[in-house]
Structure 1
Amino acid sequence: MTIHLEKAVSRVDGPLKVTGRALYAGEFGTADLCTGYVVNSSIAKGRILRIDTTEALKVVGVLDVLTHENRPAVASYNESYTDMDAADGKHFRPLYNDRILYSMQPVALVVAESFEAARYAASLVRVDYESEPPQADLYAQRSEAHKAPTELPPDRGDAEEAWTQAPVKVEAEYHSAAEFHNPMEMHASTVIYSTDGKLTIHDKTQGVQNSAQFISNIFGLPDGDVRVVTPFVGGAFGSGLRPQYQLVLATMAALKLKRSVRVVLSREQMFSFGHRPETLQHLKLACDQDGKLVSTIHEVMGETSSFEDFTEMVVVWSASLYQCPNVRLKYDLVPLDLYTPLDMRAPGAVLGVYALESAMDELSYAAGIDPLELRIRNFTATDPASGNNPYSSKELLECYRQGAERFGWNKRSPQPRSMKEGRQLIGYGMATGVWEAMQNPASAKAVITIDGSVVVSSATADIGTGTYTVMTQIAAECFGLPLEKVTFKLGDSTLPKAPLEGGSFTVSSVGSAVKQACEALQQQLLDQAKQDDQSPFKNFELTDVIFENGTMRIKASPQECIEITELLKQGGSPSMEALASASPKEERDNYTTATHSAVFVEVRVDEDFGTVQISRMVSAIAAGRILSLKPGRNQILGGMVWGIGMALQEEGMLDKKLARWMNHNIAEYHYPVNADIHDLDVIFVKEHDEIVNPLGAKGIGEIGIVGVAAAIANAIYHATGKRIRDLPITLDKVFQS
C-alpha cells in the first residue's frame, strides 16, 4: 500500500503559488469591475457633524461616495447580527450612523472606475467631527474593569491562605503589548455582481461559509444568492476569522450600483481592526521546600472595546498545566475606545502561558531548584481543572527529556550572569507550552472517476498551513494512489460544511471527515463488487480489503483484485461519490485532549549595547500523529519566529491621548526578519492517541508559539540577572532594569 502520511511531502499547491497562478481575493476581476477606497475617521470618539463629498464626486471616474447618510437599506443593521467568531456585545456596523467608536473607523467609501481615482477622491472627502476625549489607557482605566463573560475553572482550596503560609513564594505583574497580525496579503473583498442579483464574493477569510452567511443575514439575501470563493489566503493568523468591514462595504456598493466592486485595505488600514489585546497579569505562586506547588493565583486584565467584550482563554491554563491543590483565577476586561481585539495565533494561551511560565521560572530561583526540574516535579498525568480527567495522551515528560538533551540543558550554569563569551552574556531559558486539541463537526465529499482519480472537497480554508497538502495525503493513502491522482477542493461556500480554519482543529475536524468520506466511498465500491454472486469479495468486509494503484484487493489473498474502473463500469456510471460528516466521539468527554511542548532557548546579550540575539532554540512538540512532516515543521518554525517577535519586537504603539496607533505600517511596527533568526530546531515527540479523533492528530498551528516568549524572557534573566516583565523586551528595558 502506498504510504503518504507522516512523510515530508512538498505542498501540492506550491507550484501555483511560486509561479503566480494562485489567485487571492484582490486579484479576481470582471469586465465591469470598479474599485472602492475607504475613508477612515481621524478621531477616536464622538460623532460626525458633516461629510462633504462635493470635490470627491467631481473627480473623473468617481461613481459614488457611500456614507451613513446615503447607504442602501440593510436588512439587519438595526438588529443584532453576528458571525461564527463574534464577541459578546453590539457588533461594529460600518456606516451605521454618525457615531465614532474608534480611531480609523470607516466613515465613507469612494467608488470609482479605477483604484487611482478612488484613492485620490478619498483624499478630497472632508469630514467635520464633534470630538469627545477617548479612554485608551489600560492602566488608567483599571477601575472600570468588569468580569469577562466566560466560565473559568472553579477555585480549588484556599489559594490565598496557602500562599501566605508557604515557605517559598513569588508575586509579580506581567505586561504584554498589543500585537497586530500583519499577514502578507492585505484584507480584500471582490464582489462579482450578476444581472440576476446574485453575488460571487472573493473574500480574504478563514471561513467562506461564515462570510456567506454573514452577508446573507445583513443584506437579507437568500442563502443561494451569495457564494464566497477563496481558494488561497496569504496568511491570516486569526485576522480572517471574523468578516472585516471591507466585505460589508464592497457588498453594499455592489448592491447599490449593481456593479462588481473590489475593496482592498491599505497596509495602514490593516491596523484599523483587531489585534492581540494588551494585558496586565498578576501572578502569585508558592511551593513547599521540595518544589511542589501549593498555591496558584492568576489574575488578568485584558483590553476590550467599548461595544464588545472580547474574551480568550488566558487564565485557564494555570488551573490545568501543573498539579496544585489551591488555585484561584480571575479574568476581567477593561473597555477602551479601540476596535475589538481579535483572535491571534494561540489566542489566550500565548499570553497566559507567558505569565505563568515566567512566574514558574521566578519560583525556581526562589526555591533553588533547576527550572526544568521544578516543572517535572509538578507534572500531572491528569487534568486538575476537569476533576482530574485523564489526558487522551500526554508526552510532556518526553518533550522535556528530548528537548533538554538536544539543547544541552545540562551544560547550564545555575547562577544568573555566570555564562559569558567576550562581551556577550549567555543565558539559557525554558518554558512549557500547551494548547487544546479540538475537533468540530465537519463534512466532506469524495468522488472517484472512471480514470481512477479521486476528488475530495470541503468548504475549509488553507491560510498557508498546508490544508491542501494534508487532505490530499489523507485521501491518497486511503485509496493507495499517488498524490497526483488526488485533488482536494476547498474555499468555496457551496462545498460540504466545514468550521472556520483556526484553533489548530482543521486536520482533526475536516481531516476526519475526509477520511470518513473516502471510507464511505470504498464501502460503495465494495458493495458494487458484491453485486456479482461469483465475486471473490462476496463474503468480505471493508476491513478485509485494501485499495492500491486503482485496484481493490483482498488482504489475505492479494492476487484477488478488481480494477476500480471495472467496478464503475459495472455500476453504469463514470463516477461514484460519497458524502460523510464527522463529529467528536462521545468517548472524548471522559478525557482532556491537548498538545504540549517544551521550549529551550539560548540568548546572547551584548553588555555594551543591550541587544538580544536568540542564538539557538529547540522546541519539542507532542501533538499526536504528525500527518505531514514538512508543512508541520514549517508551522512550528513559524510559531517560533513569531514568539521571537512577541518577546523582543512586536508592539502596537498607542497615542493614548488620541487613542490612535502611531506605528501603523510595517516600517515602524517591528517584527523579526531573516537576520534575527538563527538556529531553530524542531522535535516531534511520538505520541499515540486513539481518543482525540480517527486520525490521532491533534493540530500544530498554535502550539509552536506558546511558551516561546516566556522561554526567551527567562533566558534573558539567566544571562543578565535582570527580570524584565514587560513585553516586548527592547534594549532600553534591558539597560533600565
Structure 2
Amino acid sequence: MNDSLSFEPPKAGSVVGQPVNRIDGLAKVTGQARYAAEYDLPGLTYAALKTSTIAKGRITRIDATAALREPGVLAVLTHENLPKMAQTPNTLAGKYAIYGMHMGYMPMTGDEIFYAAQPVAVVVADTFERATQAAALVQVTYEEARPVASYQSAQAEVFDPNGQGFVFDLKKVTRGNPQAALAASPVQVKATYVHAINHHNPMEPGATIAHWEGPDRVTVYDSTQAVAMSQQSLAVVLGLPQEQVRVITKFIGGGFGCKFNLWPHTVLATLAAKAVGRPVKLVLTRQLMFTSLGHREDQEQTITLGATQEGKLTTLIHEKTSTTSPWDIFAEPNAAILNWLYACPNYESSHRVARANVMTSTYMRAPGESPGSFAIECGLDELAAKLNLDPLEIRLRNYADLDSGTGQPWSSKGLKECYRRGAELFGWSKRSRQPGVTRDGQLLVGWGMATASYPVRPAQGRARVRLYADGHALVQTSATDLGTGTYTIITQVAADGLGLPMDRVRFELGDSTLPTAPASGSSVAAATVSSSVHLAIQDVWQRLAAMAVRDSQSPLFKAPLTDLTNEQDRLVLRKDPSKGESFAALLQRQGLTDIEGVGNSKSGEGFEADQLAFDNKPGTKQTKRSMYSFGVHFCEVKVDPDLGTVRVSRWVSVMDGGRILNPKTARSQIIGGAIMGIGSALMEATNRDEYFARYTNADLAGYHVPINADIPDMTVEFVDGHDPYVNAMGVKGIGEVAMVGSVAAVANAVYHATGKRVRSLPIIPSKVLGRDAV
C-alpha cells in the first residue's frame, strides 16, 4: 500500500452505522440458507455414534455382529479398524502440534475410557434410522473403574497448574504486597462464589458432512466458528497438505464458543467417509451435545477485598478452583478481569485444578471474564453494603484511569458515560439503600448493577475485494457468521467504501479457499474482518488512482496522488471534487472488466497513526495502550418470598464497543449476551452424578434455558466509543462484553430484594429460601 495515499473509511450518515436489516434474513426464514448438515451429496450416508456407558475403565470386547446384519449398514468402525490418523492429539505436546486442536481426548484410538458417553464405535448406514438402530445393537463390554466426578470429589487431587494451562496462562500473579495490605485494611470482605457447569446448547447441534474427492483430497461441511483453524487442524490429523483440505461453513445456528475448535465428531466423520468411500453425515444428538463440545467448567472462586473506610480498594486477592479433564489443563482465566477492572495497588491471583473423568471444558461466551466478573462484581457489592455505600458510587470511587495490570493508558474508555446514561435510563437514583424493603404487592423488588469489560484480542485477517466495471463488487473472506450479522455489516462496510448500493455488493464467506480470516469468537470477527475489507477497498482505490494519473484521457491525468480522494464511486481531486471520474469509466477505458484489491488487518495490537487511513497526523507514533470494550448492566428482579421464585422484570445495558457498524444487529448481540447471563444466574446447571460421573440432565427438558416469558423488554444503548488505536475501523467487538457482569447484576438485585446473599449459581428457589443464602 502506498503510504502517501489514503482514502477515508465510511463516514457517519452512510449505511455503516445504520440499523440495516439482515441481508441473510430472508434466506433463513424461507429455508434457503444451507447449514452444515443440509448438503445433499450424491451417495450420502449417515453415521451414528455408540458411546460408553461408563466414565472410567477399558473396553474388553466389542461385538458388532448384530449391527452388521442390519440392512443398509456399510460399516461398524471401532478403535480396532478405524483408519489411522497421521497425528493423534492425545497429549499436551500433540495438542500444541495441531493448531486449534483443543478438543479433548481423541476417542477410538485405544481401548481406554476417560469419560461417560465417549464414542466407542461409529456405525455408517444408508439412512439415519438404520445407522441409529444398528448402533444400538453394538455390544460393548468394559472393565470398569471408579471415576472422579469433579474437584469436589473426595478422591480428587487438586493441584496448581503453575502456568501449564493448554490455552490460557494460569500462572500466579502478584502485584504489590497484597497480604500486608490486607492486614492493614480497616475494612475487609471475604466470600466464596460457586459457578455451576454450563453447556452452550446452540440451536444447531454439532454437524459434519465429509466427502473425499479422491484418496488425498477432502471437503468437509462443518458447523464451525473457525473455518481456517479447522482446515489447518484437519490437514495435520489427516497428514495432507492444507490446500487439499477444504472446510465450508456458510451458516451457523449459534455456537457461543463450543464450535470454536475441532472436535472428535468431525474427525470421526471424516475418517468414516474415508473408510466407506462415500460421503458421511454425522449430526450430534442433543444428548451428545453435552459430552462432545465442551462446557463451562464447575468452579469456585474465593475473593478477598481490603479497603479504606471510604471504600477505596487497597488489596484484592482471588483464588479459583475448577475441574479439568484427565488429559488436559484447561481453566477459564477468571482472574484476568480482576487485574484491570478497578484501581487497586495490591493484587494476587491463583488457579488450582483437579483432574476428573469428564470431557474437557472449553470456551464459553466471555471465558474467564464472565465468571470472573460474577466474583468481583458481587464482592464489590458486598463491600458497598458493608460501608452503606451505593453500588454505583463504590465503582466510581475505584474507577481505573489506567490499566491496573500494565499501567498503560486505555485506547479509549467510555465507562463513566455508560454508568451515567445507564443510571439515568434505569432511574437508579430512586434505589432504596436498604435491602429487602421495596415491594410490588407481595413481591420483593430488588435493583442490581454490574460493570462489563472485555479485551480487544489480537487477531489478523485477510480479505479480497473485486470491483467490476459494470458497477458491482465481490467481497471474499473465510470468516463465518454465527448468526450475529457478519453478512450484513461487512456488506455495509464494502458498499460505503466503494460508493455502491448494498444490493450491488456480494459478500462471500465461510470457505477455506477464500482469504484467511480469524474465527468468529473472542469478539474479533467484526473488528478484524471489517478492517481487512476496508484496507482491501483502499487497495482498490489506490490501484484506480495510479491508473488514472497515468491515463492521458482521464481528468486526473498527472495529478499528484496525494491530491486524490474517493467520493462515492468516483475518484476526485480533494480541492475540487467536481474534477474526477467514476471507476466504471476508468476501467472501461482501460479495457478492464474488473480490478482487485487485498487487505490484511491486525486488531488489538495497536496502530501507529500513519497506518490509519482516517488519522490526520501522519507519521506520529503512539504509546502502547490497553484495549477493551466496556459497559454496564442494570437489573430489576421481583422475588416471591413464599416460593423463592425470581423473575427479571426490567433490564438496561449501556455499552462502549467502539464503532458500532449496525446498531440493530449490535443491540441483538447485547440482548443475547444478557439473556445468557440471566440463564446462568437463575436456571442453567448441568448436574454430574458424583458416583458415576455422568450427567443426569443432558437434554433441554432437564437443562433449563431462558424462554421469552423469562425475559422482559430490554433497553440497550451505545455510547460514542471512537477509538483510533484498535484497528482500521475503530471496532472493538461486543459479542463477549454483552455477557460480562450480567450474572452479577442479577445476583446483586436478588440481594437487594431479599437482604440475603446467594453466592452459589444458579439462584434457584431452594437457595433463596434455604440456608445457602446469608
Q: For this structure pair, what is the TM-score category when the shorter chain's length is used for normalisation?
A: over 0.9
Tell me the SS of whatever aligns to 2:380.
Answer: helix
Amino acid at match of 2:347: V
Task: Answer whether contact 1:29 1:190 (CA < 8 A) is retained.
Answer: no
Q: Deviations over 1:428-479 (max 9, x none)?
A: 1111111001241111000011211111111111011111111111111111
Task: Answer whether contact 1:172 1:359 (CA < 8 A) is retained.
Answer: yes
Q: 1:134 aligns with which of 139, 147, 161?
A: 147
Residue of structure 1 in register with 2:368 after alignment: 348
Amino acid at match of 1:314: N
1:472 equivalenced with 2:491 (yes/no): yes
What aligned pairs does 1:228-267 form with structure 2 within 5 A after superposition? 228-267=247-286
Tell me the SS of whatever aligns to 1:302.
Answer: strand
Residue of structure 1 in register with 2:55 after alignment: 44
Residue of structure 2 in register with 1:623 after alignment: 657
Q: Deviations over 1:272-296 (max 9, x none)?
A: 1210111110011121011110110
Q: 2:688 aligns with which of 646, 654, 657?
A: 654
Tell me the SS of whatever aligns to 2:437.
Answer: coil
Aligned length: 733
Tell me the SS of whatever aligns to 1:576.
Answer: strand
Task: Answer whether contact 1:553 1:560 (CA < 8 A) is retained.
Answer: yes
1:72 equivalenced with 2:77 (yes/no): no
Residue of structure 2 in register with 1:704 after alignment: 738
Tell me the SS of whatever aligns to 1:641.
Answer: helix
What aligned pairs does 1:289-300 form with structure 2 within 5 A after superposition? 289-300=309-320
Amino acid at match of 1:648: L
1:730 equivalenced with 2:749 (yes/no): no
Moved more, 146-155 or 361-370: 146-155
Residue of structure 1 in register with 2:551 after alignment: 532
Q: Deviations over 1:254-303 (max 9, x none)?
A: 11121111111111110112101111100111210111101101111122
Quickly say closer, same or farther: Cα 1:542–1:136, change in 2 above 3 A. Answer: farther
Residue of structure 1 in register with 2:613 after alignment: none
Q: Deviations over 1:376-405 (max 9, x none)?
A: 00001101101x100000111111111011
Task: Answer whether contact 1:29 1:192 (CA < 8 A) is retained.
Answer: no
Residue of structure 1 in register with 2:635 after alignment: 601
Amino acid at match of 1:437: V
Quickly say closer, same or farther: Cα 1:542–1:698, change in 2 above 3 A. Answer: farther
What aligned pairs does 1:346-495 form with structure 2 within 5 A after superposition? 346-386=366-406, 388-495=407-514
Task: Answer whether contact 1:306 1:338 (CA < 8 A) is retained.
Answer: yes
What aligned pairs does 1:512-531 form with structure 2 within 5 A after superposition? 512-531=531-550
1:671 equivalenced with 2:671 (yes/no): no
Q: Deviations over 1:161-181 (max 9, x none)?
A: 222221111110000001001
Post-superposition offset of 1:563: 2.7
Residue of structure 1 in register with 2:287 after alignment: 268
Aligned-partner Cα distance in 2 for 1:302–1:589: 37
Post-superposition offset of 1:83: 4.4
Quickly say closer, same or farther: Cα 1:278–1:525, change in 2 above 3 A. Answer: same
Residue of structure 1 in register with 2:7 after alignment: none
Tell me the SS of whatever aligns to 1:524.
Answer: helix
Residue of structure 2 in register with 1:61 after alignment: 72
Q: 2:595 aligns with which of 559, 576, 581?
A: 576
Q: Which runs of 5+ in 2 are unaligned?
A: 1-10, 609-621
Amino acid at match of 1:18: V
Aligned-partner Cα distance in 1 for 2:256–2:563: 39
Tell me the SS of whatever aligns to 2:550.
Answer: coil
Post-superposition offset of 1:685: 1.1
Aligned-partner Cα distance in 2 for 1:438–1:544: 34
Q: Deviations over 1:486-538 (max 9, x none)?
A: 11111000111112111001122121111100100111111111122353323
Quickly say closer, same or farther: Cα 1:668–1:223, change in 2 above 3 A. Answer: same
Aligned-partner Cα distance in 2 for 1:478–1:188: 36
Q: 2:335 aligns with which of 312, 315, 326?
A: 315
1:29 equivalenced with 2:40 (yes/no): yes
Task: Answer whether contact 2:170 2:333 (CA < 8 A) is retained.
Answer: no
Q: 2:28 aligns with which of 17, 25, 33?
A: 17
Q: 2:324 aligns with which of 294, 298, 304?
A: 304
Q: Deviations over 1:558-609 (max 9, x none)?
A: 3223232222223322111112212244558711000111111111001221
Q: Which runs of 5+ in 1 are unaligned?
A: none
Tell me the SS of whatever aligns to 1:402.
Answer: helix
Q: Deviations over 1:528-563 (max 9, x none)?
A: 111223533232436732242x43333433322323
Quickly say closer, same or farther: Cα 1:288–1:78, change in 2 above 3 A. Answer: closer
Amino acid at match of 2:278: R
1:111 equivalenced with 2:124 (yes/no): yes
Aligned-partner Cα distance in 2 for 1:91–1:368: 47
Aligned-partner Cα distance in 2 for 1:543–1:308: 58
Aligned-partner Cα distance in 2 for 1:694–1:78: 37
What aligned pairs does 1:488-567 form with structure 2 within 5 A after superposition? 488-533=507-552, 535-537=554-556, 538-541=558-561, 544-548=564-568, 550-567=569-586
Q: Deviations over 1:170-200 (max 9, x none)?
A: 1100000010010111111101222464211
Aligned-partner Cα distance in 1 for 2:516–2:231: 12
Aligned-partner Cα distance in 2 for 1:589–1:508: 21
Task: Answer whether contact 1:438 1:508 (CA < 8 A) is retained.
Answer: no
Aligned-partner Cα distance in 2 for 1:9–1:309: 43
Residue of structure 1 in register with 2:158 after alignment: 144
Aligned-partner Cα distance in 2 for 1:85–1:621: 31
Task: Using structure 1 for the length normalisation, give the TM-score.
Answer: 0.97
Task: Answer whether contact 1:166 1:288 (CA < 8 A) is retained.
Answer: yes
Task: Answer whether contact 2:546 2:561 (CA < 8 A) is retained.
Answer: no
Task: Using structure 2 for the length normalisation, give the TM-score.
Answer: 0.92
Amino acid at match of 2:177: D
Q: 1:335 aligns with which of 350, 355, 369?
A: 355
Amino acid at match of 1:279: Q
Tell me the SS of whatever aligns to 1:130.
Answer: strand
Amino acid at match of 1:720: T
Residue of structure 1 in register with 2:4 after alignment: none
Moved more, 148-157 or 602-611: 148-157
Residue of structure 1 in register with 2:612 after alignment: none
Aligned-partner Cα distance in 1 for 2:41–2:150: 46
Amino acid at match of 2:126: E
Aligned-partner Cα distance in 1 for 2:88–2:343: 48
Residue of structure 2 in register with 1:685 after alignment: 719
Residue of structure 1 in register with 2:112 after alignment: 99
Task: Answer whether contact 1:153 1:319 (CA < 8 A) is retained.
Answer: no
What aligned pairs does 1:133-172 form with structure 2 within 5 A after superposition? 133-140=146-153, 143-147=157-161, 148-149=163-164, 150=169, 152=171, 154-172=173-191
Aligned-partner Cα distance in 2 for 1:600–1:85: 37
1:286 equivalenced with 2:299 (yes/no): no
